[in-house]
Copies of this chain bind each other. A is one copy, B any other.
Amino acid sequence: MILEVAVLDVIPDHVDRFEEDFEKAQSKIASMKGYRSHRLSRCMEVPYRYLLLVEWDRLEDHTEGFRKSEAYQEWKELLHHHYDPFPDVEHYDGIRSLSSVS
């Protein structure tokens, strides 16, 4: 399992519209092959900052499968104009994971 990580700095005036557009956009990513889950969270220290975490089966499910899809064009149109600066996206591989709930 691969974790896609993007810190999204949204133009402060766009915050409400970004959240509405994300609501529409999330079905685009959730329908892709290799998609497992995603989570959008809002920063408590910087109120126009969001964290997007997406779990994929394999790196290529994101970098090839999603980014070269028609769904990605719709995702871009809905979301990319809300960001400043345009975010870096990184991928992480699991090492350690623990939970208090067994």
Contacts and interface: CB of A to CB of B under 8 A. Distances in A.
Interface of A: 2-3, 5, 19, 22-23, 26, 30, 35-46, 49-51, 53, 59, 90-101
Nearest to A97: B39
A94 B3 CA distance: 17
23 contacts: A2-B44, A5-B51, A19-B95, A22-B96, A26-B96, A30-B98, A35-B100, A36-B100, A36-B101, A37-B98, A37-B101, A38-B96, A38-B97, A38-B98, A39-B97, A40-B95, A40-B96, A40-B97, A42-B93, A45-B90, A45-B91, A46-B90, A50-B92
A84 to B, nearest CB: 18
Contacts of A51: 3, 5, 90, 92
Contact of A100 (B3, B30, B41, B100): B30
